[in-house]
Amino acid sequence: MELINQDNLPKHIAVIMDGNGRWAKTKGAARIFGHKNAIKAVRDATEGCAELGIKYLTLYAFSTENWNRPKLEVQALMSLLVSTIKDEMKTLMDNNVKLESIGDISRLPKDAQANLEKAKLQTGNNSGLTLILALNYSGRWDITQSVKKILSENLQSEVNNELIEKYLSTAGIPDPELLIRTSGEMRISNFLLWQMAYTELFFTDVLWPDFRKEHLNEAVMAYQRRERRFGKTSEQIIEEK
């Protein structure tokens, strides 16, 4: 942590937590074993971001495409979601973390919805890191539901970037400056498609159950070594400093 520049931290980090199944396979176990052992990585990423002073952390926990996985795995994931939210409440409260969610929560099992809403209510007054769980989420779904809401309200105003962003599920949340994806895969998998227009991408071969604070710090340091130009030239960026 002493190598990290506290004046150049990303406000918002997004994570694609990949590699649970492959991690379990290396242990000769079923895929759900990898999901269960990934909870430590979630805890480390959350605590690490809180300790650094990151304002927002979004975890891609369950995509709309994940419903296509084997039924038993989906059921186990939903059960794990319910138990994890209950079990991690102390960690959230101890670290002053506020829990939020994005995605179509209505498709989740009723007990998962209830536990999620209860946890969001309990942590609602916490003022540190905001932990956002992307559940039954996809970037295309998010853009589509934004457009549908705009059309349903029959707004007379001009459709522009600001209007669409107002109706995205991340309204009021800054776009992520850094995306971390584990397991060596190099794609964004329908995650925060609108929001990641200028996000810095960091790919690591570490499988998600093995992800720890030192890996988070490594990603943040890589982010700090990059020049963010937003379409401008390096010379323009230097002149503006």
Residues known to be catalytic:
18, 66
Contact status, residue 42 vs residue 208, Cβ threshold 8 Å: no
Contact status, residue 18 vs residue 182, Cβ threshold 8 Å: yes
Token pair recorded at residue 97: 């973390």
DSSP helix/strand/coil, 23: helix
Short-list 116, 133, 223, CA closest to 178: 223
Contact status, residue 35 vs residue 20, Cβ threshold 8 Å: yes
| Side-chain-facing half-sphere of 35: CA atoms under 13 Å | 16
Q: In the block, which residue shows the tokens 């805890």?
A: 43
